[in-house]
Amino acid sequence: MQVYTYENHVMKDPLLPFIFYRQHIVSVCNHTPNWHTNMELLYCIGGEGFIRCGAMVTDFRPGDIFVVNPDVPHNICSNSEVRYRCLIVDNSFCIENGIPIDQLVFQSSIQDAALCKLFEAVAQAYEQKEPEDFRSVLNIRQAVLTLLTALCRDYATIGKKEDPSNEYVRKAISYIRQNMNTNIKLDEVSDYVGISKHHLSRLFKTYTGNSLIYTANLIRCTEARHLIEGGMRVCEAAVACGYDNLSYFTRIFRKYFQDNPSHFKI
């Protein structure tokens, strides 16, 4: 099957092929699922939320570690606020250290105090990083490898298989993003994906929590917001995202962002 890309990670330092966020905060769930070829590790440090990953919805509370396997659509939500650390590891680092990332399936939701300490060791190594100090780089690499080693030893199995439903959802979202300047209809997306519209509707609700049309409008309105924030006139942004009727666009936009499009003008 073709892999439909969504998020491409840029690793700024070839010696540190990681993306690390010491604290990321989510207080709403007003975004579409994303996926990527690299594994992602999440460690909850405060608040409460939940993670929708593939067809699974899992509570996310302090002390929880969640592993997002490569190419699985996912997003993080909260009805209040959830705070977490995030580590994304480039596949190249896994391969060069003997981790067969393309063959492994990791347990998603983990409660393990020892693993949490290893995650904190990564955070500490980043805190102590000094510019132009090769020892700082080595400390980070060692901390990440130690975390991955424990994860592979205790929470990974050999035998990775593609879930066709993941592929259908990825393909549908990719189609929406590629055609966001049009008024997208369920029939045309299901034809492109190659399954019935009823099957696609059920999958989309299961994997994203929303209908396909809701998600299509969210993607288009989010793009319009970015265009407006970049200096484009509201009416031009509406047309660029497939909305010919400005009043209808404004009504849909308010549904997602609780404010008029003009509020986001620079």
At 88 the pLDDT is 97
- Find out whether 91 and 103 touch, Cβ atoms under 8 Å: no
- Per CATH, is 164-264 categorized as 1.10.10.60? yes
Q: Do domains 18-158 and 164-264 have the same CATH topology?
A: no
Task: Give the per-residue pLDDT at 220.
Answer: 93
Predicted confidence (pLDDT) per residue in 99-114, tens digit? 999 999 999 999 999 9
Mean pLDDT of 211-216: 93
Closest CA to 67 of 113, 114, 115, 121: 115
Determine the average pLDDT of the residues in 59-76. Answer: 95
Res 17: pLDDT: 97
Confidence band (pLDDT; 50, 70, 90) for 32? confident
- Reduced to 3 states (helix: H, G, I; strand: E, B; else coil), residue 253 is helix
Statement: residue 261 has pLDDT above 50: yes
CA-CA distance, 123 to 84, in Å (whole number)?
12
For residues 79 and 190, what is the distance between their CA atoms, to the nearest angstrom?
A: 31
**Residue ranges per structural domain of the chain:** 18-158, 164-264
The predicted model scores a pTM of 0.88
pLDDT in tens, 135-185: 999 999 999 999 999 999 999 999 877 788 999 999 999 999 999 898 899
Residues 221-246, mean pLDDT to the nearest whole number? 94
Q: What is the pLDDT of residue 162?
A: 76
Q: What is the pLDDT of residue 3?
A: 44
Q: What is the CATH number of domain 18-158?
A: 2.60.120.810
Q: What is the pLDDT of residue 2?
A: 45
Above pLDDT 70, what percent of the chain?
96
Query: What pLDDT shows up at residue 265?
Result: 86
> Exposed, middle or buried, 23 (CB in 10 Å: 0-12/13-18/19+)?
exposed
pLDDT range class, residue 60, cuts 50, 70, 90: very high
At residue 160, the pLDDT reads 76
Smallest Cα–Cα separation from 51: which of 208, 199, 225? 208
Is 10 or 49 the better-scoring residue by pLDDT? 49
Q: Is the pLDDT of residue 217 over 60?
A: yes
